[in-house]
Structure formats: structure tokens, C-alpha cells
Amino acid sequence: MEELNRRRAVAYTHPFRAEPMYNLLPDRRAMGITLSTDTTLTLESVLTNNIATRFPDIRFIWSHGGGTMPYLAGRFNLGNGPDGKPNARLAAVQGFYYDTAQAFNSFTLAGFTKMIPHPHILFGSDYLGNAGSAGNVVRGLESYDGWTPQQLRAVYRDNALVLLPRLRT
């Protein structure tokens, strides 16, 4: 972590494959649940070990909208302090970046966009299976009525350029 911090690294996180879970439910449904849970556990580990505060120059991108973290805010002790400002854990969570793979339907986006600042949401898709294909993610994002055209363009491209400015052309 010290070296990533020194380099001001962008650290993209993605759970490892969940082959042992393939057959727990039909159609490999348990795999997606397990992968989201792995992301959630890793994110909590970063918070619990104060990685975000000890190494503030690492810019984390969490896949799949942060797993189940946005929907377990109470279990993560995320909230506002008595002054109305985000507590340290919520501030850390809001400082991370998140991709939209598996976080693109209107139910998910309603809570996700309430917690995560818009400039920290990046386009992402899964290449396997139809559910998380780039086309389905685009359709989900474009059907969500919570975006302005400028915000949608930022999710597709501009927000990522803040993290990776050398890709700007």
C-alpha cells in the first residue's frame, strides 16, 4: 500500500472467480452473489484497516458499484455526524470510485447515486453473460431518469479522465 500511495496509483478492484459457488443455485446465480460479497468484504477490510486514511493518494475503483456496500450502509456504520457532515467512514466511501457493472438498474441506481457522488461513478460492464453486457448497462443507465445528459456523458467518459488524464485526446 505504501508503494501504491507513493505512486498515486489508481487501484481497480475486482473479485476473484467464484467457481466453487457455481452449482449452489441454478444458472450459476450464486456466483454473482459471491462476487458481490467478495467486493463488499474487501471494501470493508480497506475501511477497517484505515487504508484510505493511511494511504490517501491511492485512488480505489470498486467494481460492481461497490458490491453490496451501498445497501448495507448501516452495517458499515456509514452516516452523518452530529454536525450533518459525513462521518469518517462515509467520507472515505464517498472518496472512492465505482463502476456501473451490475449497478445499472433503476432500483440499484436510486440508492447508489444518493450515496456516491456523481463524479465518482464510472462506466463499467461485465463481458460475460447477457445481464452485465455493455449494451445492457448502457440501456439501464440511459433509462434511469436521475441523470442529465451531461452527467451521463461524465459517467461514460469524463469522470474516468479525472483519474486517467493521459487518455484524454
Identify the domain containing residue 92 by its residue range.
2-164
Q: Would you say the C-alpha torsion 119, 120, 121, 125 has a positive or negative sign?
A: positive
Q: What is the DSSP letter of 157?
A: I
Report yes or no on 83 lying in a domain: yes
N-term to C-term CA, the chain = 31
Report yes or no on 169 lying in a domain: no
Residue 93: CATH number of its domain? 3.20.20.140
Q: What is the pLDDT of residues 146-157, one digit of tens each?
A: 999 999 999 999
User: Domain total for the chain?
Assistant: 1
Q: How far is CA 169 from the centre of its chain?
A: 26
Report yes or no on 94 lying in a domain: yes
Residue 98 phi, psi (nearest 5): -140, 140
Q: What is the pTM of this model?
A: 0.92
Report yes or no on 42 lying in a domain: yes
Average pLDDT of the chain to the nearest whole number:
91
